[in-house]
Structures are given as C-alpha cells and as structure tokens.
Amino acid sequence: MKLLIKNGTLIDPVLETMQKTDILVEDDLISAIGEGLEDAEARVIDAEGCAISAGLIDMHVHFRDPGFTYKEDIISGSHAAAHGGFTTVTCMPNTKPTIDTPEWVKYVYDRAEEGSGIHVLPIAAVSKGQLGEELTDAEALKKAGAAALSDDGRQVMNANLMRDALICASRQNMVILSHCEDENMVKNYAVNEGRISRQLGLPGRPAIAEELMVMRDAMLAEETQSAVHICHISTGKAVDIVRKFKKKGVKITCETCPQYFTLTHSEVLTQGAAARVNPPLRNTRDMQAVLEGVKDGTIDCIVTDHAPHSEEEKARGLEKAPSGMVGLETSLAITLTQLYHTGEMTLPQILAKMTVNPAHILGLEKGRVAVGCDADLTIFDPNEEWVVDASKFASKGRNTPFNGKTLKGRVKYTIAAGKVVYEDGGEE
Ligand code: DOR
Ligand code: ZN
Ligand code: ZN
C-alpha cells in the first residue's frame, strides 16, 4: 500500500519549521519527503491548504474497558481518537477490574486489534485495584507492555507508597502519572472552591488540595531521583511549583487539558454537570496561569483526559453526576482556536505538546516525521470552521461543555501505520 500526500505544509515542532512538501508512505513507513514526488501506484491525498503533523499523541484517555463499556470501549474510543487526529493514545487503568496485572495489559492490546487502527497503549495501575495499599508488579507490567503507571481517578494518598512506587517505576524506566488532589480535601465535591461554590452554596474542591500534592510529588521525585508526571494541572500555584522544580533539574513533567486554558468555574452555572470535572475548572487567574505555563514550556503536554460518561449519569445533576468530559474529537480544534488563532503560539509550538513531548515522556519512538519513521500522520486544515455537534461523535460519550461551540481547525485525515484510519466526510 502506498500513499502520496501532495502539497501540504509539514510542521516540525523540534526544528520549529513549516515547509511545503510532499510525503510518500510505503506500507507502514515514511519512504520519501520532498517537493514534486510522483508515484503511479500510490493513492494521492491532496493536502493543499493543510498542515501535516506527526500523528497526535494523547497520553491521558479513559476507555472504560473492561467494566464500563456502556460509557466507552476500546473500539469506540479508538475511533473517537482517529476522528480527533490521534494515532497513539495511552489509556488509564481505572476500569473494572483495574488494569493491574500483565493479563489485563494484554487484554487492552488484544481489544485494540479490533479498533480503528490507531495505537492504543495501556497504562497500568500503581497500586493493586487502585486501592492505595499494595504496589503492583512494575517489572511484570513493563514486560507485558504497560506504557506507564498511574492510579489516575484517584490520588495515591500514602506518601510512603508513592515513594516506593517512584523507586520501583524508575528501575523499570517507567514514569508515574499522578492525579494530584488530596482526597480528604475534595471528597466527592462537584466544583472549585471559590466564588461559584459559594454562590451555589456547595462545598468546593480547593486549589490547595492540588498544590499540596504537586509539591509532595515534586519533592518525592527529587529525593528518589525518579520521574513523575503531573496529570491535568489546573492551578497557577501548581504550575509555579513545577516551574521551580524543573529549574532545579528534578525529573518532573506535566500536562494540562484544553478545558483548563479555555474555561473557568463559572461554566457550571450555565452547563451544570457537563462542566463537572476533576480537578475542577478554576478561576480566571488560574486559567491564565495555565495558559502562561503552556506558553513558557512549564506545561509539556496537552492531553484530553477524555472521560466519557452516559447521558443518564450526567443527567443526575451537578452534585450527583460523575466528573469528566470527553475531549478526543475537539482537542486539536479547541487548542488551535484558543492558542493559534489568537496569536499566542505557533503551530510547531502547539504540536510539540501533542507529539514529541508526550512521546519523549513515555519513551516512545514517535512524534517525528522523517524518512524511515512510522507512518503516523495527522493532516488538518487549521482554518476550517465547524460547529461541535456531540451527537455526531464516534465516542459513546457526549459529555462536553463545548457542544454547539464554533471552532477553527479541522482534522482531514488521520493515518496510522500507513493506513488512512479517518477521513473527513469519507468512509473509514
Ligand atoms: O474528571 C475526571 N474523570 N477526572 C479523573 O481524574 C477521572 C476521570 C474519570 O475516570 O471519569
Ligand atoms: Zn485524573
Ligand atoms: Zn484522567
């Protein structure tokens, strides 16, 4: 199978260049890059007016399989990812049962075979059953192919267990992805603690619950000389902590999600449970600080934390509904609308956070476009406008506060391992 992509603009996030060029794909590899390429046998894709990037990587999604497949399964999730331009995702282990053994790691790989054709890599739990009591077997999980370790959805509350986990993970060359919120401070509360929680008369999740845990994990990473990656950072002070520890040379990285540099807690007033997420949407100052962290490089990655829930669950109302929002099919467009079309960042700077940076953190040989590399590519029109219609999502989840919003930037083709796995307006 050959694909010839003509007339697109190739974005290189490392060299920070944008260059008009053709790309030839043979089987699952990139075989040539240059101007005026021809190949009589190849399927030609016209990428005029489009940007070409290494396939997008989302290192934080929830596919709910096994156990909650009414919300999403690995197959529907992998199609949602392809629609959103993602060729690699790593999925969180807060399933039922928990992905905490080599057998369950293998289950994810096996199920993904039947999916859209993108690469779905499992993240395994830090603690058995994510109960925060006993560590999983990092060595066996690594051998089975786990891409990282995380108890996401929950905080590893026991500092001693987290310290041991960091030591064990680093021996396996694995990173721990840490959901930072002190569980005793946030309980099952629905919104950020602040003006909006007071207005609604609800108990809130305070920013300090996140910041304390970011500080703890940063200090543990420093002391154990291990790598920690902070999930979905959402407060200004948490960004400051990561910035300071990075300056000291500590192996700390972090991610945020489009909702944290786009929306604030006031969103729950109009959107209710659709705007409920953990950590919660914060105040304007935090939102701006997160944006600053994305711009200055403190925040390494933009991920979705794609967290599908059923319509019935989200209809229970703000206080009773589960937390989370879907993101795979809107992430690139929200990011382009908010960061590129406003002039805040360039395409290479943005794409670094969705390709090379997550690849680097996970130790994956992905995220670059060069001859001989895996043919994982995303082709998008940065200027096409469209209106989000969640009812059309490939995901089973429709829970997004961006429904009905006009966004600028649209995925046209997603190519994984040399195969077109998504085509805008076309058949897969
Ligand atoms: O809002 C969230 N939803 N935050 C998490 O950490 C977990 C996720 C989920 O699994 O639904
Ligand atoms: Zn989380
Ligand atoms: Zn998550």
pLDDT tens-digit series, residues 55-81? 999 999 999 999 999 999 999 999 999
For the Cβ of 278 lying below 6 angstroms from any atom of ligand 1, the answer is yes
For residues 42 and 175, what is the distance between their CA atoms, to the nearest angstrom? 40
What pLDDT score does 122 carry? Answer: 99
If you average pLDDT over residues 204-227, what whole number do you get? 99
Q: What is the mean pLDDT of residues 1-11?
A: 97
Residue 156, CA distances (Å) to 125, 176, 190, 224 in order: 10, 11, 20, 16
The CA 323 to ligand 2 mean position distance, Å, reads: 10
SS3 letters for 90-120?
Answer: EECCCCCCCCCCHHHHHHHHHHHCCCCCCEE
Q: Is 211 helix (H, G, I), strand (E, B) or coil?
A: helix
Q: Please give the C-alpha separations between residue 321 and each of 198, 269, 311, in angstroms, as whole numbers.
A: 19, 15, 10
Question: What are the Cα distances from residue 252, in Å, to 43, 152, 221, 244?
Answer: 43, 17, 7, 10
Give dist(CA 12, CA 123) in Å, integer: 28
Calculate what percentage of the chain has a pLDDT beyond 70.
99
| Block residue for tokens 């390494």 | 300
pLDDT, one tens digit per residue, over 165-214 is 999 999 999 999 999 999 999 999 999 999 999 999 999 999 999 999 99
Q: What is the mean pLDDT of residues 10-29?
A: 97
**What's the burial of 55, exposed, middle or buried (CB within 10 Å: 0-12/13-18/19+)?**
buried
pLDDT band at 245 (very low <50, low <70, confident <90, very high): very high
**Residue in 58, 65, 305, 376 annotated catalytic:** 305
3-state secondary structure of 266: coil
Helices 159-171, 207-224: inter-axial angle, 10-degree rounding? 50
Q: 308 CB under 6 A from ligand 1?
A: no
Q: Report how far ligand 2's centroid is from the alpha carbon of 319 (Å).
A: 18
* Strand 43-46 relative to strand 51-54, pairing: unpaired
Q: Residue of the nearest CA to atom 7 in ligand 1?
A: 153
Q: Is 338 left (phi over 0), alpha (psi -120 to 50) or beta?
A: alpha
pLDDT of 427 over the 70 cut? no
Whether 124 contacts 338, CB under 8 Å? no
305 is catalytic: yes
Nearest CA to ligand 1 atom 3: 324
Check if the beta carbon of residue 361 is closer than 8 Å to that of residue 175: yes
Reading the block at residue 61, the tokens are 């999604």
For residues 336 and 325, give the distance between their C-alpha atoms in angstroms, rounded to a whole number: 19
Compute the distance between CA of residue 334 and CA of residue 89 in angstroms, rounded to an integer. Answer: 18
How many whole angstroms separate alpha carbon 94 and alpha carbon 166? 19
Model confidence over 283-339: pLDDT tens digits? 999 999 999 999 999 999 999 999 999 999 999 999 999 999 999 999 999 999 999
| Cβ-contact 233, 254 below 8 angstroms | yes
pLDDT of 160 over the 80 cut: yes
pLDDT for position 103:
98
Q: Which two tokens stand for residue 300?
A: 């390494």
DSSP conformational letter for 232: S
Ligand 1 within 6 A of 307 CB? Answer: yes
Which one-letter DSSP state was computed for residue 338? I
Has residue 428 got a pLDDT over 70? no
Please write the tens of the pLDDT for every residue from 346-370. 999 999 999 999 999 999 999 999 9
3-state helix, strand, coil in the chain (%, to 5): 35, 25, 45
The residue type at 103: E
Contact (CB, 8 A) for 169 and 217? no
Largest CA distance in the chain: 67
Q: What are phi and psi of 65, to 5 degrees?
A: -125, 115
Please tell me the residue having the least CA distance from ligand 1 atom 9.
307
Report the alpha-carbon distance of residue 115 to residue 326 in Å, rounded: 18
Q: What is the mean pLDDT of residues 143-147?
A: 98
Assess whether pLDDT exceeds 70 at residue 426.
Answer: no
Q: Token digits for 364?
A: 């994956």
CA quadruple 200, 185, 322, 92: dihedral positive or negative?
positive
pLDDT of residue 265: 98
The reported pLDDT for the residue numbered 354 is 99
39: CA distance to ligand 2 center in Å?
Answer: 46
Residue 93, token pair as written in the block: 């282990």
Entry pTM: 0.98
Q: Which ligand is nearest to the CA of 323?
A: 1
